[in-house]
Structure 1
Amino acid sequence: MRHIHTIALSLLAASAGMGLSSPAQAAGKAPVVVELFTSQGCSSCPPANANLITLSQRPDVLALSFAVTYWDRLGWKDTFGKPEFTQRQVTYEPALEQFGPYTPQMVVNGTTTAVGNHIADVERLIDTAPALTGPTIELADSHVDIAAGTAPTSGADVWLVRYDPQIHEVPIGRGENTGRTLPHTHVVYDLQNLGTWSGAPLALGLSAPATGLKTAILVQRPNGGPILSATTN
């Protein structure tokens, strides 16, 4: 069974890494952004990781996995965790009317949230999410162009996200998931705020991503607000 499971994961990874444009992007529609906040040190997170693998196969979804750091104290330091990913989740919580960060949490378009283990709840949020109506984003290898449009009064943040679309299995040596090997996909490795979109056309240069990583651009209201536009290559 494990051999069959490994083959299945490999096939999923191959399809995720082909770099083909989704029907939503081909039609000029922004994908629905699903952010998973997870940790290798959390015993409740493996089902949510599996759910994100499923959701990442949807052509209308941009799936992103952010590894938080607050479970590192349980004896296993998440191999993908970074403080800035934890801070992104913390920033979301007041706007989402949450008492504090938890795992596994999925956030849809920066506006709604559900427990990451409950895929039916997340799929309902995806299927009922309004289309993003922010500025058009043109993403190239070395630059990104954001079109003119109506911006929030305080402007909007422009986020650069670098993520790995492949599936990777990580053996866990300590903590709540000791002895398990956990599959991960669409793991975020880098998150940078590139500046502010004020409504005027904006052109920004981009450095080359590390080998194997894809690029996503999010235009988002500040302080954990709604995502206005999104694209990926």
Structure 2
Amino acid sequence: MRARTWIVALALINTTPAVLAGTCEATSAKTHTPLVELYTSEGCSSCPPADRWLSTLKGRDNVVALAFHVDYWDYIGWKDRFAEPRNSQRQRDWARQTGAGTIYTPQVLVDGRDARAWRGGDPLSSAQTNEPATARIHLRADSGATGTRLNAQVSAPPDRAARLIVARFEHGHQSRVEAGENDGRTLHHDYVVRDWEVHDLPASGTLDTQLQFLPGERTGGFAAYVEDARTGRILQSVALGDCT
């Protein structure tokens, strides 16, 4: 279970729910915390069940979850407003890196491995949650009306060719789809990735970096994880909710 310390909590100073103020921090657990990545699209008729499954992970502090909306289904009639070309490229990079034959939606990855067991099963049952973590991540967020300044301190095995990925995610999004495969449906989304950055770790395996994120549209938080750049395996992950 990750450690979490609230340093100060200030009153909301804006009527926009996602404009928060305060300072908070989180440190990754001593054991491995699995990362779940969902690649999804509002233009994909088979994706809503996966979106709903991902929402069931809310409230669990022993897993980190993210939903990357991809843009390669936009052409069939409905443009997913959460989709980004770089999200699609991340999925393609994963396939090339791991030798996977194809990419698809909805695709669930657990710690960088394809996990189809979400359909009626538990893809987290095989995650190595009791193993000692091979990386450590500490996040400190300072949030205000202009956004969030996030400090990330990372340590990982030296010369591992590792990289840190930090994503801003949001909960509670809703879309009324008016075209394409989901025409007429109202879709609900949690863990929606709105922005993300990648920072390579130096050969020493330690990194101390500052990141800046604009105010969110809705409340959510930040997810940070260390990835082996050669294999795509996730060494460790941690999530930090918005400071309130």
TM-score bracket, shorter-length normalisation: 0.7 to 0.9
User: Do 1:65 and 1:187's aligned partners in 2 also have CA atoms closer than 8 Å?
Assistant: yes
**Equivalence for 1:218:** 225
In the superposition, the TM-score normalised over structure 1's length comes to 0.79
Amino-acid identity (%): 32
SS of residue paired to 1:50: helix
2:125 and 2:204 map into 1 onto residues whose CA distance is 32
| C-alpha distance in 2 between matches for 1:68 and 1:34 | 16
- The answer as to whether partners of 1:96 and 1:113 remain within 8 angstroms in 2 is no
Query: What is the CA-CA distance between 1:28 and the residue it aligns to?
Result: 4.1
TM-score (norm 2): 0.75
1:53 maps to which residue? Answer: 55
Tell me: CA distance 1:181–1:143, structure 2 relative to 1, closer, same or farther (3 Å).
Answer: same
Which is worse superposed, 192-201 or 134-143?
192-201
2:210 counterpart residue number: 205
* Residue 54 of structure 1: how far off its partner (Å): 0.9
Structure-1 separation of matches of 2:52 and 2:159: 36
Matches of 1:55 and 1:114 in 2, distance apart? 15
Alignment match of 1:182 (pick from 169, 182, 187): 187
Of residues 174-183 and 200-209 in structure 1, the stretch that sits farther from structure 2 once superposed is 200-209
Q: Counterpart amino acid of 2:223?
A: A
Higher relative contact order (CA 8 A, sep 6+): 2
Asked if 2 retains the 8 angstrom alpha-carbon contact of 1:158 and 1:195, the reply is yes
Q: For 1:131 and 1:194, how far apart are their aligned partners in 2? A: 25
Q: Equivalent residue for 2:144?
A: none
- Alpha-carbon distance in structure 1 between the residues aligned to 2:73 and 2:117: 16
- What is the Cα deviation at residue 31 of structure 1? 2.5
> 1:116 and 1:43 mapped to 2: Cα distance?
19
Q: Residues 119-163 of structure 1, C-alpha deviation per residue, up to 9 Å, x if partnerless?
A: 41424334x55646222111111311113x42344x211112111
Residue 75 of structure 1: how far off its partner (Å): 0.6
Alignment of 1:1-233 (within 5 A): 28-110=30-112, 112-115=113-116, 118-126=119-127, 131=131, 133-141=133-141, 142-147=150-155, 149-153=156-160, 155-164=161-170, 166-211=171-216, 212-222=219-229, 225-233=232-240
When residues 99 and 150 of structure 1 are mapped into structure 2, their CA distance, relative to the original with a 3 A threshold, is same
> Larger helix proportion, structure 1 or 2?
1
- In the alignment, the residues of structure 2 paired with residue 172 and residue 140 of structure 1 have an alpha-carbon distance, to the nearest angstrom, of 37
Deviations along 1:16-57, whole A, 9 cap, x unmatched?
xxxx999xx685444211000001000100100010011233
Mark the runs of 5 or more structure 2 residues left unpaired by the alignment: 1-23, 142-149
Distance in 1 separating the partners of 2:130 and 2:99: 20
Aligned residue for 1:120, secondary structure, equals coil
- The superposition leaves residues 87-139 of structure 1 with CA deviations (integer Å, 9 ceiling, x where unpaired) of 111111244443211000100011x212375141424334x556462221111
Shift of 1:76: 0.5
**Distance in 1 (alpha carbons) for counterparts of 2:174 and 2:194:** 16
Q: Paired residue for 1:13?
A: none
Bigger Cα displacement from structure 2, 216-225 vs 63-72: 216-225
Structure 1, unmatched stretches of 5+, are: 1-19
Structure 1 or 2: more strand by fraction = 2
Query: Would the alpha carbon gap of residues 229 and 78 (structure 1) be closer, same or farther in structure 2, given more than 3 Å must change?
Result: same
